[in-house]
Amino acid sequence: MKRFDYVRPATVAEAVAAAAEPGAAYLAGGTNLLDLMKSGAAAPGRLVDVSRLPGLDRIEELPDGGLRIGALVRNADLAHDSDFARRFPAIAEALLSGASAQLRNAATVGGNLLQRTRCAWFADPASACNRRAPGSGCDARGGDSRQQAVLGWNEACVATHPSDFCVPLAALDAVVEIEGRAGRRAVAFEDFHRLPGQTPERETTLAQGELVVALRLPAGAEAFSANARYLKVRERTSFAFAVVSAAAALRLEGGRIAEARLALGGVAAKPWRCPEAEALLAGRPPGPEAFRQAAEAALAEARAPGDNAFKIELARRTAARALTLALAGTPARVPALPASPFAPVPGALVHA
């Protein structure tokens, strides 16, 4: 492992100043970064430990009825907050489907946004990877494509974003609060993560030294609480990243869909919001045909970079199934297998 400096600032301003120099990285829970440092895929020259910064571990009500979640709130604490889970059930379900209980106890919500891809070629310093070493190429092209993107990819990068938490955040119009040397700014969640384009090494809109300090959920997101689900298809039921996932939320009025939200995970370099599908559903009676058409619209631009065309059909079916589960209603309690296709149907509720 490369030698590095370690600093632990006392304030957000000190942290931003300490991380301003090239090669610096923030350390919070460390559940992703430390693994990458051990393998050599990441080699920061300075670690800025923000895990004890005051004021960033709070969940706060906003005057407009929204919610502000500090970047250092632990994944487990947020998922198990009963008021939060009642108001934003798809987000709680997504959190509980990720990683393992031990990792959820350590990981932070801010760090979750900044997870690096689990692409095997990114994690291997001996492989060419434009994300890790700009201009070196992409050895993933022509390799095992099971986990590769089917939306938004190009020849420079076919990696996917690994987060579960981020998928319902994209669907529910979350906002990211960022602190930098120029002050604080807010970025719509849809704009926070970037597609590869010509600069695949730039995965988010963050500039060097900028720090995620909080997430905000708008008051309107709570309107979907009665009909919101997260569904995750993975290789095994626990401690596995999604092959494909979907967050679906419906607001029903008079037997019709007044408003719909749909986002996909595991299909692109960022959580993939599906506005075409949402527009197609608005004003229609809910049901299998409407959900099938919405799923088709969501994947209309999908294309396979390798032998993973199965993933396009899998994503269609996952989207339609998530919408069907959302229509059935949010369970009063989280299933024992959160977000799993094998979880009991609503009504067979297992634990709080």
d(CA 227, CA 90): 9
pLDDT, tens digit, for every residue of 220-234?
A: 999 999 999 999 999
**Is the pLDDT assigned to residue 20 strictly greater than 60?**
yes
Give 304-340 pLDDT, tens digit per residue.
999 999 999 999 999 999 999 999 999 988 888 899 9
Terminal CA-CA length for the chain: 43
pTM (whole model) above 0.75: yes
Res 335: pLDDT: 84
- 136-194 pLDDT tens trace: 999 999 899 999 999 999 999 999 999 999 999 999 999 999 999 999 999 999 999 99
In this prediction, what percent of the chain has a pLDDT beyond 90?
93
How many other CB atoms sit within 10 Å of the CB of residue 128? 15
Residues 242, 160 contacting (CB under 8 angstroms): no
Q: How far apart are CA 326 and CA 214, in angstroms?
A: 28
Return the CA Rg of the chain.
Answer: 20
Asked if 32 contacts 115 with a C-beta cutoff of 8 angstroms, the reply is: yes
246 touches 262 (CB < 8 A):
yes
Tokens of 27: 């350390």
Q: How far apart are the C-alpha atoms of 271 and 298, rounded to whole Å? A: 13
Q: What pLDDT is stored for residue 121 in this prediction?
A: 97
pLDDT digits (tens, 9 = 90+) for 30-82: 999 999 999 999 999 999 999 999 999 999 999 999 999 999 999 999 999 99
To which residue do tokens 């002050």 refer? Answer: 183
- List phi, psi (to 5°) of 146: -55, -40
